[in-house]
Amino acid sequence: MSAELRRTIRSETDASRTVLEATLYSREAGFGEAPSRIIATAVSELTRNILKYAGTGELCLRKVKDFGRRGVEIEASDEGPGIRDCDAAMQDHYSSGGTLGLGLPGVKRMMDEFSLESAPGEGTRVTARKWI
């Protein structure tokens, strides 16, 4: 498997295919079945946000290493409208779209490391890592 999986997300089909690929990618990277499903769930939330709030964007998965630990990094990026108040967006049940508002805080809980970089007019980038 190549080191990196990079997918353009502009339709539900792109999103669901990428979620499936994320499960396989995580398995091949050495994760067990349950954590691989967790990583795929995080990918699902992030691709859903890209489609809903930005329309189109990119989802990238890569294997990472740090002091002998191995893991997977998810990077979801788009050039959509961005987020004015990132602290609010990270609160449980905050949604500007009338949905559950558990996507971003859920991804933060599911993964070991999480960062959200976004500003109005500057797009959004979420980077999250999970270690084996």
Q: Which is nearer to Mg ion, 45 or 130 (CB)?
A: 45
SS (H, E, C) 30-87: CCCHHHHHHHHHHHHHHHHHHHHHHCCEEEEEEEEEECCEEEEEEEEEECCCCCCCHH
Q: Which is nearer to Mg ion, 27 or 52 (CB)?
A: 52
Strands 57-66 and 69-78: antiparallel
Could you give the count of Cα atoms lying within 13 Å of 27 in the half-sphere of its Cβ? Answer: 9
Residue nearest to ligand ADP (CB): 103
Q: Which of 20, 100, 119, 132 binds ligand ADP (CB under 6 A)?
A: 100
59 binds, among ligand ADP, Mg ion, none (CB under 5 to 8 A by kind): none
Tokens of 19: 């979620």
35 binds, among ligand ADP, Mg ion, none (CB under 5 to 8 A by kind): none
Binding to ligand ADP (CB under 6 A): which residues in 41-80? 45, 49-50, 53-54, 78, 80
The interface region with Mg ion, picked from 9-17, 34-42, 101-109, 111-119 by CB under 5 A, is 101-109
Assess 49 for contact with Mg ion (CB under 5 A): yes
CA–CA distance, 108 with 127 (Å, rounded to integer): 10
What residues line the site for Mg ion (CB under 5 A)?
Answer: 49, 103
